[in-house]
A and B are shown apart, each in its own frame.
Chain A
C-alpha cells in the first residue's frame, strides 16, 4: 500500500512554466498576448508607414467639407451644400429607419408564417413552406433587385393618372386612378399619400443641428397624452366603484369622448385638412411621398428575414411538449387561446435568442440598400463620400464602427429582454 505522494514542494523551476499544468495556462496566455500585441503593432506600424509613403494623413476633417451631392430620401433637412457629416447622419437615419421597421414587419410576418406552416389546412401549410424555402434559399441581393423592379414595372407611371380637359371632352378616362377617395396614389416611383395639414398652423421650432419640429404635431401629441392620462383615471375610478359597489358605472360613451374629443377639437381649431397629392408635370406633389427605393428594400428585407423567423417560430412551437397543448385542451381552452396563452409564451424563451441574431442580420443586410437606390449609411458614407474624397481608410473604419455600435446596442437591449422573460428558476 502506498500513500498518495504529496505534491512536489521544491521551489519554482523555469521548466515548470511548460511542464506544470498550473503554470502552463499562464505561459500560454502570456505568449498569446505578446503575439497579439506584436501583430497589432505590426499592422498599425505598417499603416503608419504606408500612409507616410503615400503622403496621406489619417484625419476626419473631410467630414466637415461640402458634400455636393443630393440624397432623395432625407429624414432631416439636407441640401448638397451641407457637409459630409450631415450626409453621414442622413444615411445613418435611413439605415436605422429601414432596420427598425424591417425588424417589426419581419417579426409580424414571420410569426404569422411560422404559425400557419403548422396549420392543418393542407394548402396553406404548403404555400407557407414554399414561401419559406423560396425566400431562404435565394440570395437577398436578388430579392432586393427584384422587389425594386417589380414595383417599378407593375405600377403605372404618374402621367397615367393625369386627367386633362381634353380627355374629359373626348370622354376618356385616365389609365390609372388614385385609391380611397383620391388620398393614395401608388406610381412606379413611390407611394403618395394625402398628408394632414393645418391652415392655422403654429409653425415649427428648429432644434440645434437644423432639425425642425412641427409645433402642431407637438400640440396634438400633448393633447393625446393628456386624454390618455384622463382615460386611465376614468378606468381606475370605474374599477374602484366596481370593487366598492359591485356594479361598474357605464363608461362606454365616456371612453371615445375623452380619448378623441380633445384631439378632434384641437385639430379643428388648428384648421385640419388633408393635403392631397396632385399630379404636376413630372410627378405628384403635395402630400407625403414614400419612394419605392425605401418600400422595395423594406419589403425585401422583411420577407427574406421573415422566412428565417418563421423557421425559428416553428421550431420554438414544436419544442413545447405536446402535453402542454393537451392540458390546455383539457382545461377547455380553444385552439386560438391555447396558442396565445399557453404555447407562445413558453415558446418565446426558445425563440428570442435566435431572433436577436436575425435582427442583427437584418440590420447588417440593409447595407445592400444601394441595389435599389436607397441611400443608407453604405450609400452615403461608404459610397459617394468615400468615392469623392478618396478617404477609404477613414470612411470604412468609421462605417464599421457605426455598424458595430448599432449591433452591440441591439443585442444588449434584446439580451435584457431575454433575461426578463427567462424562466425564473429557484
Chain B
C-alpha cells in the first residue's frame, strides 16, 4: 500500500480581507466615479470644473472686508493687507445697508412687526403644510391675512376686524341660501351683501369703535416697503389670493357652460401668453387709462393685483393638471352617490386634485417669488435691482457691483431651495399614497 498522503485541511484559514479594490473608499471610488472610460472622463471633467470654480472665486472671497465706511476704504484696506494688485469682496456695504435689502424703508423702530408677521406666517401655514396637525388650526390660517395686514400696514385694528366680519357675513348669507338657490347664486348674493357692508358699514363702524377703544399701530405707507419684505408681500399675497381664483378658473375651463368656459380659457391663455413685465407695465402705465380719471391707488396694490392675475392663470393650469390626473371613476362615483356638482367638487374631486397639485403650486410660488424682482422695472424697490440701485447711488458705495447681487442671490437661493425641498418631500409622501 503506497503511502499516499492526501492533504486534508483540519483548520480553516482565517478569512482573507477582500482585495483593496473592493473595499472602503477605493471600492466606492471605483464603482461611483471610475466605472468605465466614459464615467472616468465625466469625473475628471467634473473635478476640473469644480477646481476651476474654486480657484476663480477663492482669492476674492478670502480677501473680504467686513468693516469699512466706503468702497474706497475697502479698497485701501485690501491693498494694505494683500498687496496693491489684490482684489477682494467689500461686504461692508451689506453690513451698512442690510436692513434696506431686507425691509426697504420700513421704519427701523417698527421692525418687530415684520418679525412677528414672519413668525406668524409659519404658524399659519403649518396646518396647511403638515397634515398631522389638528384641523382646527386651519382657522388660524384663515385669520392670518388680516392679522398680517394689520401688523404690516398698521392703523386701527378695527379695519381688519370689520373686514373679517364682512367675510363672516358672506359665509352666513351663503350658508343660509345655498340650499335653496344653489351655490353660485348664493355666493353671488353673499358677495353683494358683504360688499355693501364693506363699503357703507366698515368706515362708520371703524370710526366709532376707534373712539370707544383706540387700538392702533403707527401706520406705515406701502411705498416704505422694499427689499425682501416687498418680494414676500407681493409673492405671498398673490399666491394666497390666486388659489381660490385659480380653482374657479380651472373649474371654469372644464365647465360645460360654453360662455364660462370660453371666458376662462381666454383669460388663462391671455395671461400666460404675455410676459409678466408687460403686465407690470400695464399696472403702472396703462391702468390709468382704463379707470376713471382721478383714480389713483397705490402702485404696490396695482402690481399685486396684476401679479395675482398672473399667478391665478398658472395655478389654474396646475389644478387642471390635478383634475385631469383623477381617474374618471371618481367623478362617476360621485354622480352615483347622488351628489350635485358643488358637493362632488367639495367632498370628492377638489381634496384629491389639490393634493396632487401641491408640488405644482409650490413651484408656481417659487417662480412667482423670483419674478417679483421684475417690479424694479416699474420703480418699486425690489431687492435685486431697486435697492441695489439706491445703495449704489450713495457716493460711498457707488461702483460696488458684485456684493449686493451675491447677497440677494444667496437669500433667494435659501428661500427657494428650502421650498423646493419641501415640495419634493411632499411628492415622495404623496407617491406612497398612490402606488
Q: Do chains A and B touch in the complex (CB under 8 A)?
A: yes
> A residues within 8 Å of B by Cβ?
18-19, 21, 24-25, 27-29, 31-33, 36, 43-44, 46-47, 49-51, 53, 116, 119-124, 127, 133-134, 136-142, 145-146, 149, 357, 360, 364-365, 367-368, 378, 382, 392-393, 396-397, 399-400, 403-404, 407-408
B182 and A140 form a contact (CB under 8 A) = no
Query: Which residue of the partner chain A has the closest CB to B256?
Result: A25
With most chain B CB atoms within 10 A of its CB, the pick from A27, A29, A36, A138 is A138
Chain A, Cβ-Cβ closest to B270: A404
Rounded to whole Å, the gap between the CB of A156 and the closest CB of chain B is 16
Q: B420: nearest residue on chain A (CB-CB)?
A: A137
11 contacts between A and B (CB under 8 A): A36-B263, A50-B289, A123-B32, A136-B420, A139-B370, A142-B412, A360-B272, A364-B276, A367-B275, A400-B274, A403-B274
Q: Is the CB of B373 within 8 A of A133?
A: no
Residue ranges of B at the interface with A (Cβ–Cβ < 8 Å):
28, 31-33, 35, 39, 42-43, 46-47, 49-50, 180-182, 184-185, 188, 256-260, 263, 269-270, 272-278, 281-282, 285-286, 288-293, 317, 340, 366, 370-371, 373-374, 384-385, 401-402, 405, 408-409, 412-413, 415-417, 420
Residue numbers in B under 8 Å from A19 (CB-CB)? 180-181
Shortest beta-carbon distance, A292 to chain B, in Å? 17
Query: For residue A53, which residues in chain B have a CB less than 8 angstroms away from its CB?
Result: 293
Distance in angstroms from B284 CB to nearest chain A CB is 9
Report the separation of the CA atoms of residues A36 and B273 in the bound assembly, to the nearest whole angstrom.
Answer: 21
CB distance from A256 to the nearest CB of B (A): 30
* B34 to chain A: closest residue by CB: A121
Q: Is the CB of A149 within 8 A of B401?
A: yes
Contacts of A51 in B (CB 8 A): 289
* Total A-B residue contacts, Cβ distance less than 8 Å: 158
Docked complex Cα distance between A152 and B417 (Å) = 29
Q: Which residue of A lies closest to B295 (CB)?
A: A46
Which interface residue of B185, B256, B402 has the most chain A CB atoms within 10 A?
A: B185
Q: Assess A404 versus B42: contact at CB under 8 Å? Given A18-B185, A47-B289.
A: no
Chain B residue nearest to A27 (CB atoms) is: B185
Q: A120-B32, A121-B39, A123-B32 are in contact. Are A392 and B285 (CB under 8 A)?
A: yes
- The residue on A at minimum CB distance from B252 is A32
Which residues of B sit under 8 angstroms from A121, Cβ to Cβ? Answer: 32-33, 35, 39, 42-43
Q: How far is the CB of A405 from chain B (nearest CB, A)?
A: 8
Q: How far is the CB of B406 from chain A (nearest CB, A)?
A: 9
- The reply to whether A396 and B282 form a contact with Cβ atoms under 8 Å apart is yes
A51 CB, nearest partner CB in chain B, Å: 7
Please, which residue of chain B has its CB at the minimum distance from the CB of A315? Answer: B427
Please, how many angstroms separate the alpha-carbon atoms of A123 and B257 in the complex? Answer: 54
For the complex, give the distance between the alpha carbons of A364 and B366 in Å. Answer: 17
Chain A residues within an 8 Å CB radius of B35 = 120-121
Q: Are A367 and B278 in contact (CB under 8 A)?
A: yes
- In Å, the complex CA distance between A357 and B259 comes to 26
Residues of B within 8 A of A397 (CB): 286
Structural contact, A133 and B417, CB atoms closer than 8 A: yes
- In the A-B complex, the 8 residue pairs with the smallest Cβ-Cβ separation, listed nearest first, are A122-B32, A137-B416, A407-B273, A364-B275, A404-B273, A139-B370, A367-B275, A392-B285
Known contacts A33-B259, A123-B43, A357-B317, then 10 further A-B pairs from the complex at CB < 8 Å, ordered by chain A residue: A24-B185, A25-B257, A46-B291, A51-B289, A119-B39, A120-B39, A124-B46, A142-B408, A364-B275, A378-B277
Point out the residue from A119, A137, A392 that lies within 8 Å of B412, measured CB to CB. Answer: A137
Question: In the complex the two chains form, is B182's CB within 8 Å of A21's CB?
Answer: yes
Q: Which residue of A lies closest to B409 (CB)?
A: A138
Contact of B409 among A33, A142, A392, A399 (CB under 8 A): A142
Q: Which residue of B lies closest to A53 (CB)?
A: B293
- Quote the shortest CB–CB distance from A122 to chain B (angstroms): 4
**Bound-state Cα–Cα, A133 to B293, Å:** 47
**Cα separation A146 to B405 with both chains bound (whole Å):** 9
Which of B260, B285, B373 is the one whose CB lies under 8 Å from A32? B260
Is A18 a contact of B182 with CB atoms below 8 Å? yes
In Å, the complex CA distance between A52 and B340 comes to: 51
Set of chain B residues within 8 Å of A120, measured between Cβ atoms:
31-32, 35, 39
Decide: A124 near B42, CB < 8 A? Known: A29-B258, A403-B274, A407-B272. yes
How many Å lie between the Cα of A139 and that of B405 in the bound state?
11
Name B266's closest neighbour in chain A (CB-CB).
A36
Q: Measured between C-beta atoms, what is the minimum distance from B209 to chain A in Å?
A: 34
Please name all residues of chain B whose beta carbon is closer than 8 Å to the beta carbon of A137 when the two chains form the complex. 366, 370, 412-413, 415-417, 420
Which chain B residue shows the least CB distance to A28? B184
For A382, the chain B residues whose CB sits under 8 A away are 278, 281
State A127–B28 Cα separation when bound (angstroms): 17
Min distance, Cβ A399 to any Cβ of chain B, angstroms: 6
Q: State how many angstroms separate the Cβ of B282 from the closest Cβ of chain A.
A: 6
A101 to B178, CA, bound (A): 54
In the bound complex, CA of A289 to CA of B270 (Å) = 37
Which B residue sits closest to A52, measured CB to CB?
A: B293
Q: What residues on A are CB-neighbors of B278 within 8 Å? A: 367, 378, 382, 396, 399-400, 403
A400 to B306, CA, bound (A): 14
Chain A residue nearest to B56 (CB atoms) is A154
Contact check, A24 vs B182: say whether CB atoms are below 8 A apart. yes
- Most chain B CB within a 10 A radius of its CB, from A119, A123, A145, A368: A123
Instruction: List, in ascending order, chain A residues with CB within 8 A of B340's CB.
Output: 21
Q: Which residue of B lies closest to A407 (CB)?
A: B273
Distance A397 CA – B285 CA, assembled complex (angstroms): 11
Give chain A residues whose Cβ lies under 8 Å from the Cβ of B269.
408
Question: Which of B28, B50, B274, B286 lies in contact with A392, CB distance below 8 A?
Answer: B286
For B29, give the chain A residue with the smallest CB separation.
Answer: A122
Query: Cβ of B293 and Cβ of A50 under 8 Å apart?
Result: yes
CA distance in complex: A400, B271 (Å): 10
* Residue pair A403, B281 in contact (C-beta under 8 Å): no
Report the minimal beta-carbon distance from A43 to chain B, rounded to whole angstroms: 5
- A28–B188 CA distance with the chains assembled, in angstroms: 10
Within the assembled complex, what's the spacing in Å between the Cα atoms of A149 and B288?
37
- Assess the B274–A136 pair: CB atoms within 8 A: no
Contact B290 A47 (CB under 8 A): yes
Closest chain B residue, CB of each to CB of A401: B274
Cβ-defined contact, A404 with B274, below 8 A: yes
Chain B residues, Cβ within 8 Å of A393: 285-286, 289
Enumerate chain B residues within 8 angstroms of A407, measured Cβ to Cβ: 272-274
B353 CB, nearest partner CB in chain A, Å: 17
Question: For A27, what are the chain B residues with a Cβ–Cβ distance below 8 Å?
Answer: 185
Given contacts A138-B409, A396-B278, A399-B278, contact A28 B257 (CB under 8 A): yes
Q: Looking across the interface, which residue of chain B has its beta carbon closest to that of A410?
A: B273
Contact A136 B416 (CB under 8 A): yes
Given A365-B275, A396-B285, also A133-B43 (CB < 8 A): no
Give the docked Cα–Cα distance between A195 and B285 (Å).
45
Q: How far is the CA of A270 from the CA of B347 in the complex (A)?
A: 76
Q: Collect the chain B residues with CB atoms within 8 Å of residue A403's CB.
A: 273-275, 278
> Which residues of chain B are near A21, meaning CB under 8 Å?
182, 340
- Return A425 CB to nearest CB of chain B, in Å: 14
Q: Which residues of B contact A25 (CB under 8 A)?
A: 256-257
Interchain CA distance A33-B181 in the complex, whole Å: 20
A139 and B371 contacting across the interface, CB-CB below 8 Å: yes
B89 smallest CB distance to A (angstroms): 15
Chain B residue numbers with a CB within 8 Å of A33 are 259
Interchain nearest-CB distance for B196 vs A (Å): 17
Residues of A within 8 A of B408 (CB): 142
For B412, list chain A residues within 8 Å (CB): 137-139, 142
| A357 CA to B273 CA, complexed, in Å | 10
A123 and B47: CB pair below 8 A?
Answer: yes
> CA A397 – CA B286 in complex, angstroms?
9
CB distance from B37 to the nearest CB of A (A): 12
Cβ contact within 8 Å between A123 and B33: yes
Q: State whether B263 touches A127 (Cβ < 8 A).
A: no
Indicate if the CB atoms of B184 and A138 lie closer than 8 Å.
no
Bound-state CA distance A365–B420 (Å) is 21
